[in-house]
Amino acid sequence: MTGVTLGCVRRIYDHSYPGPRWVRRLCWRSLAGQVLVVQVIVVTVLVAAATAAFVVQARRGERDAARGKALAVATAFAQSPGLVAALRSPDVSATLQPRAEATRRATGVDFVVVMSPAGVRYTHPDPARIGGVFVGHIAAAARGKAFTETYTGTLGPSVRAVVPVLDERGDVAGMVAAGITLERISATLRRQLPVLIGTAAAVLILAACGEVLVSRRLRRQTRSLRVAEIVRLYEHHEAVLHAVREGLLVVGTDHRLLLANDEAVRLLGLPAMADGRPVRDLLVAGSLAELLDSGRRATDEIHLAGDRVLAVNQTPASRDGRPLGTVTTLRDSTELLALTGELDSVRGFADALRAQAHEAANRLHTVVTLIELNREQEAIEFATEELAASQQLADRLLTALDEPVLAALLLGKAAQAHEHGIDFVITDDTQLHATQPYATPVDPRALVTMVGNLVDNAVDAALAGQPPRWVAVTVRIVGEVTGEDGEGEREELVVRVADSGPGLEPARTAAAFARGWSTKAGGALHGRGLGLALVQQVVARYGGRIDVTNDRGAVFTVRLPLEPVVGALPAVRAVP
């Protein structure tokens, strides 16, 4: 029966149940319908099996009770006073028949039979059978041992007990048999059966009502979807999560992470088994953690995560007016911003070239006019003066720096500073030669990001200060003693950018390196939204550090070890 039931359940779930049309429609309508049918089948089978087991157990119990009762009656009668003397009387049947029948009626057994050691009956419920041979086994009782058995005798199948009657010497003087027919036992069970069936029906009805309530709740929760539809939704959900190139985070109303796809785990470096943990505990630092925890709406906000720049969109999710949490998408914009920075640098170079071309045209007209006025010497001196200054700076950079990208960057920044009336100084100790080991420990693009943003901030600060305005840049490699005994040196790249601005207060140093800290509108001096944050990323990538001091203006000093080391964010120190 169990195998048939499981087969039906399996066929219901795979939509191959060949039953009535209404059953198939119920099963195929929704997952809740299938669960209801399966639960009804399972509960019905369980109740039927429990009822059958109870009937079998009750029948066995009734037989055991009848066996014990028969044994007790037979033993009590066999040990009753005067029984041995009655067995030795001239007319045993006349003496014991009334006594046996009285005992039978008093105890409720079906027969009490007294017999000789050879099995000849002295008593019987049917007087006509007195004097006949007892139908059943008596060998064990004839040896002095009481026993019980189920046997078919003159009154039909019965549960009986046969007990020996012992005289004063311990010899078997006779035997007593008492029994209850199986028909009486079955009649007792039949009287109990309506109660049992009623109880089983009540249990089945209560279980069915509970299943209906569960099914209705399940139907609401599954939106009345069928199994195939749920499976399809799950497969599509998994496919989208693993295929999308953007990071996806789902945060619940309790500020715990509900879901993170592969790209989000990669971008944020989330730990294993991150689902269910508070977003504050996911090693997501800074403004991104604040955004995820706040649940506010965000559109294309730029946030830093380790050495990555992420464009973040966040939208609160709700259904039927009930908030469900937030959905956050992450897009890696690190390379895009790096390319944007390079494009800005190239655009700056182009602007500087246009300005120089315009200024060169003016100088050329001046030289031509001087020649036309027969002032050739003055024309030569005027033409070579500016050219010598520009050539001197170019020669100085090309001689001191073997990294052409860095040299080109500083030349372009010099032109921009000159255009704003700022004196751009390359200090005398600037040296970066390929003959030294690891002369350029960082990628050229990282150099452009780091030095370019520092110089841009310095130019802005100089413009905000009082004349004379200047920016000084130093790039060199130094050795640092690392051993306690004074032996051993570690070479590192030092980039120092100073300006003539008002400086940066030590209390605002850490804030200056935070994402989005901009002073353009506020009138402060340093910080350009992402500029210093990007500088900090480069420094963190190479395991360096940043020192910020004030010396007639702000001084930013970056130290990068020659061996690239990927580590945590560097400490930013403010030295008064």
* Per-residue pLDDT at 435 exceeds 50: no
The per-residue pLDDT for 164 is: 92
Which of the pair, 356 or 558, is modelled with greater confidence?
558
Over the Cα atoms of the chain, what is R_g? 52
pLDDT band at 9 (very low <50, low <70, confident <90, very high): very low
Residue 285 falls in which region: left (phi positive, over 0), alpha (psi -120 to 50) or beta: beta
Six-digit token pair at 442?
Answer: 């960082």
The per-residue pLDDT for 163 is: 92
- For residue range 396-411, what is the model confidence (pLDDT) as tens digits? 676 667 677 778 788 7
> What is d(CA 316, CA 325) in angstroms, rounded to the nearest whole number?
6
> What is d(CA 57, CA 534) in angstroms, rounded to the nearest whole number?
81
Domain 76-184 has CATH 3.40.50.720: no
Average pLDDT of the residues in 515-541: 59
- Nearest of 512, 559, 517 to residue 538 by alpha carbon: 559
pLDDT band at 196 (very low <50, low <70, confident <90, very high): confident
Q: Which helix (H) or strand (E) holds 246?
A: none
Long-range contacts of 507-510 (CB under 8 A, 24+ apart): 507/574, 509/548, 509/572, 509/573, 509/574, 510/572, 510/574
CATH code of domain 245-331: 3.30.450.20
- Nearest of 542, 450, 516, 560 to residue 310 by alpha carbon: 516
> What is d(CA 525, CA 153) in angstroms, rounded to the nearest whole number?
118
Lowest mean pLDDT among 86-100, 314-328, 512-526, 542-556: 512-526
Decide if 570 contacts 545 (C-beta within 8 A).
yes
Query: What's the mean pLDDT when you consider all of the chain?
Result: 76
The model's pTM? 0.46
- The SS3 of residue 481 is strand
* Per-residue pLDDT at 132 exceeds 60: yes
* Per-residue pLDDT at 566 exceeds 50: no
Which amino acid, residue 502?
P
Decide if 544 contacts 473 (C-beta within 8 A).
no
> What is d(CA 296, CA 290) in angstroms, rounded to the nearest whole number?
10
Decide if 575 contacts 549 (C-beta within 8 A).
yes
Which of the pair, 125 or 230, is modelled with greater confidence?
125
Lowest mean pLDDT among 325-334, 434-443, 450-459: 434-443
pLDDT band at 252 (very low <50, low <70, confident <90, very high): confident
Average pLDDT of the residues in 497-504: 86
> What is d(CA 71, CA 65) in angstroms, rounded to the nearest whole number?
10
> What is d(CA 445, CA 503) in angstroms, rounded to the nearest whole number?
28
Distant-in-sequence, close-in-space partners of 558: CB < 8 Å, separation ≥ 6: 450, 454, 493, 494, 495, 496, 535, 539, 544, 545, 546
The per-residue pLDDT for 182 is: 83
Residue 15 falls in which region: left (phi positive, over 0), alpha (psi -120 to 50) or beta: left
* Per-residue pLDDT at 348 exceeds 80: no
The per-residue pLDDT for 373 is: 82
Q: Which helix (H) or strand (E) holds 163?
A: strand 156-166
Extents of the domains making up the chain: 2-57+189-227, 76-184, 245-331, 337-575
Decide if 127 contacts 113 (C-beta within 8 A).
no
- For residue range 369-382, what is the model confidence (pLDDT) as tens digits? 878 888 888 777 77
* Per-residue pLDDT at 546 exceeds 50: yes
CATH code of domain 337-575: 3.30.565.10
Sign of the C-alpha dihedral, residues 10, 16, 18, 19? positive
> C-alpha dihedral over 138, 142, 144, 147, to 10 degrees?
0
- The SS3 of residue 455 is helix
Q: 76-184 with 245-331: one CATH topology?
A: yes
pLDDT band at 20 (very low <50, low <70, confident <90, very high): low
Six-digit token pair at 487?
Answer: 């032996």
